[in-house]
Chains A and B, each alone.
Chain A
């Protein structure tokens, strides 16, 4: 039997037992419209690419990492100095996290601005917002694991934030820390979140999200729909996937080059009793929130500034989650105000991030 015959035989054997051909048929018939906003269609699979890289590098890093107070920092040090290629794999893991989060933001903003969350895609959007929260949670929990001065300080600040929410906030802090203060229990808890709880939850929600995307197909931009334009439609497989592969190759190349030349360092082990080091700040994707908290005065009337800031942030997240229900106009209406709010949000985030770095 030739290679081709073998391939066909395997496919038929699998299909008879699994019904896989219905999926491949679907992927061949699925159409991707081509228009001037099509470029944003590539953000979804880019996120998946980086997530896959995180899973693979994460799997092997967990072979050497020790999630205890005494050994966490030293185990990361060992990965960086003793284990072959350890520093590269850690660097890829660290950079891929940043890339993934960046693309999640771009993905969200592109859907927002093109109003692709409108009926019938509201559930897709909502699952997406929860996925955003999970992704940021991954970043937050992962950042503590090396247990050095900076990550401890960032975690102290981060887990203190829920406390500002009246009544229930303190429980948030206790839940995250495993108590009132940060201890070895916090590290264990964050490790459990990072390698077990969050992956399972994210995986399930991702499956739902991707299923919904397939069910409703690619949304069309308003301009095309209003003018009733005829536009080119590409089959997902193989035409669009080949194009996605080009994007993946470039992204992998950039990721690896950056990881090799700008690897993260490791500070010495955190000391729970030492004063906070100077110049602590969270990872870049939290900087705008960090600055928001800093900007509010200590007290407004009789409420602490922090509380107001947190409540505003929570309000923003709730607004984001319910966006498709707030803007429930039919797809053809332009929604200029919503677009404006999106640009305001982008400006705010950029300005606050830059401000926090000065």
Chain B
């Protein structure tokens, strides 16, 4: 508790003549300003749009990559079936 008070007072910026009473009042003001809980979220409409755009782009990329991977899987399975990689080197 003492450490908390101390750090709040130290953060208080450049020097003023502070009486002990004023100090307490200042500390109270600081504590009230301190948010009870920080809920993270995008700060403005630009940021929230950016996030939605990013999510859409990300899923598009994921599905494109999965599609290509499925093609590659089919090809590589086929090669394995016809034993393309076994034994003799070309």
Residues in chain A within 8 A of chain B (CB atoms): 28, 69-70, 77, 80-81, 87, 90-91, 234-235, 238-239, 242-243, 245-246, 249-250, 252-253, 256-257, 260, 263-269, 271-273
Contacts and interface: CB of A to CB of B under 8 A. Distances in A.
A265 B3 contact: no
B40 A265 contact: yes
Contact of A238 (B39, B41, B62, B76): B76
Contacts, number: 72
B66 A249 contact: yes
A263 B62 contact: no
B1 A80 contact: no
B46 to A, nearest CB: 13
B79 to A, nearest CB: 9
Contacts of B3: 69-70
Given A70-B7, A239-B73, A268-B35, A80 B62 contact: no
A49 to B, nearest CB: 14
Contact of B36 (A243, A260, A268): A268
A253 B60 CA distance: 10
Contacts of A253: 58-59, 62
B55 A257 contact: yes
B62 A252 contact: yes
A14 to B, nearest CB: 20
Interface in B1-53: 1, 3-4, 7, 34-41, 51
B8 to A, nearest CB: 10
Contacts of B7: 70
B63 to A, nearest CB: 9
Interface string B47-90: 00001000100110010011001101100110010000100000
Contacts of A265: 37-40
A239 B7 CA distance: 59
A77 B40 CA distance: 9
11 contacts: A70-B4, A87-B40, A234-B77, A245-B69, A249-B62, A249-B66, A252-B62, A264-B40, A266-B38, A271-B4, A273-B1
A87 B85 contact: no
Given A265-B39, A271-B1, A246 B70 contact: yes
B66 A77 contact: no
A334 B51 CA distance: 51
Contacts of B51: 260
A111 B54 CA distance: 38
A28 B58 CA distance: 31
B73 A242 contact: yes
A77 to B, nearest CB: 5
Contacts of A249: 62, 65-66, 69
A90 B38 CA distance: 13
Given A252-B62, A257-B59, 15 more contacts: A28-B85, A87-B40, A239-B76, A242-B69, A242-B72, A245-B65, A249-B62, A253-B58, A260-B55, A264-B40, A265-B39, A266-B37, A266-B38, A268-B34, A269-B4
